[in-house]
Chains A and B, each alone.
Chain A
Amino acid sequence: MELISLIATLMVATFIGFNVLYIVLGKFDKLSFSEAVFISFALGLGTISLEMLIFYLLGLTFSVPVILIPWTILVTINVYRHMKYGDGFTFSERSTIPKEKNRALSIFLTCGITLEVAYAFFRALIKPIEAYDAVAIYAIKSKIFFLAKAIPQNYFPGLVHGFPHPDYPLNIPLSETFLYLAMRNLNDQLVKLIFPLFFVGILCILYFAIRRFASRAYALLFTFLLASIPMFNAYAANAYQELPLAFYYFASAIFLFAWIKEKKDLHILGLSAVLVALAGWTKNEGMLYCVINASIVLFVSVLARKDTSWKVTIAPVMYVFIIALILAPWIWVKQRFGIVNDEINLFNLNPVYLFKQLYKMGPILYEFQKQLFGPKKWILLWPIAIYAAIFHSRKIFAPEQRYISISLILAFCGYVLFYMVSYVDVVFFTSKTWGRFMLHFLPLVVLWLAHMLKEDIKI
Chain B
Amino acid sequence: MSLKMWYKDKIHRHCEGRRPEAILKILFIVWVVLWIGFLARELFVKNNIRDYKNLLTRTLEGKHSYVTGDRLYDFLTYCKTTMPENSAYNIIGMDEGALESRKAVYYLYPNVKTADPDFIIDISQYTIKRVEE
- A residues whose Cβ falls under 8 Å from a Cβ of B: 112, 119, 122, 126-128, 130, 132, 135-136, 139-140, 143-144, 147, 159, 162-164, 187, 189, 221, 225, 228, 230, 375-376, 379-380, 384, 387, 390-391, 393, 453, 456-458
By beta carbon, the residue of chain A nearest B98 is: A132
Q: Chain A binding site: helix, strand, loop or mixed by DSSP?
A: helix
Once the chains are docked, how many angstroms separate the CA of A122 from the CA of B53? 12
Q: Is the pair A128, B34 in contact by a Cβ cutoff of 8 Å?
A: no
| Stretch from B19-27, B74-82, B119-127 contacting the other chain | B19-27
By beta carbon, the residue of chain B nearest A229 is: B35
Count: A-B pairs, CB below 8 Å: 84
Smallest CB separation, B26 vs chain A (Å): 10
On chain A, the residues within 8 Å of B6 by CB distance are none
Residue B92 at the A interface, CB < 8 A?
Answer: no
Once the chains are docked, how many angstroms separate the CA of A130 from the CA of B31? 30
Smallest CB separation, A392 vs chain B (Å): 8
By beta carbon, the residue of chain A nearest B20 is: A456
Once the chains are docked, how many angstroms separate the CA of A126 from the CA of B28? 31
Q: Binary interface profile of B, 50-85, with partner A (CB < 8 Å = 1, else 0)? A: 011001100010011011100000000000000000
Query: When the two chains form the complex, which single residue of B20, B27, B35, B67 contacts A128, counting CB atoms closer than 8 Å?
Result: B67
Query: When the two chains form the complex, which single residue of A112, A230, A457 contacts B42, counting CB atoms closer than 8 Å?
Result: A230
Q: Is the pair A375, B24 in contact by a Cβ cutoff of 8 Å?
A: no
- With contacts A228-B35, A391-B15, A457-B24 taken as known, whether A127 is within 8 angstroms of B114 at the C-beta atoms is no
Smallest CB separation, B98 vs chain A (Å): 10
By beta carbon, the residue of chain A nearest B102 is: A136
Q: Is the pair A135, B106 in contact by a Cβ cutoff of 8 Å?
A: yes
Q: Is the pair A140, B105 in contact by a Cβ cutoff of 8 Å?
A: yes
Once the chains are docked, how many angstroms separate the CA of A217 from the CA of B34? 21
On chain B, the residues within 8 Å of A221 by CB distance are 28
Q: Binary interface profile of B, 102-120, with partner A (CB < 8 Å = 1, else 0)? A: 1101100110111000000
On chain B, the residues within 8 Å of A132 by CB distance are 99, 102
Q: Is the pair A162, B21 in contact by a Cβ cutoff of 8 Å?
A: no
Smallest CB separation, B50 vs chain A (Å): 12
13 residue pairs from A and B, CB less than 8 Å apart: A126-B52, A128-B67, A132-B99, A132-B102, A135-B106, A136-B106, A140-B105, A140-B109, A147-B110, A375-B34, A390-B11, A453-B24, A457-B21
Q: Is the pair A144, B109 in contact by a Cβ cutoff of 8 Å?
A: yes
On chain B, the residues within 8 Å of A143 by CB distance are 106, 109
Once the chains are docked, how many angstroms separate the CA of A135 from the CA of B102? 7
By beta carbon, the residue of chain A nearest B68 is: A130
Query: When the two chains form the complex, which single residue of A140, A164, A225, A458 contacts B31, counting CB atoms closer than 8 Å?
Result: A225
Q: Is the pair A128, B64 in contact by a Cβ cutoff of 8 Å?
A: yes
Once the chains are docked, how many angstroms separate the CA of A454 from the CA of B35? 23
By beta carbon, the residue of chain A nearest B12 is: A391
Residue B30 at the A interface, CB < 8 A?
Answer: yes
Q: Is the pair B105, A163 in contact by a Cβ cutoff of 8 Å?
A: yes
Q: Is the pair A128, B60 in contact by a Cβ cutoff of 8 Å?
A: yes
Q: Is the pair A380, B27 in contact by a Cβ cutoff of 8 Å?
A: yes
Once the chains are docked, how many angstroms separate the CA of A140 from the CA of B113? 12
Once the chains are docked, how many angstroms separate the CA of A230 from the CA of B105? 30
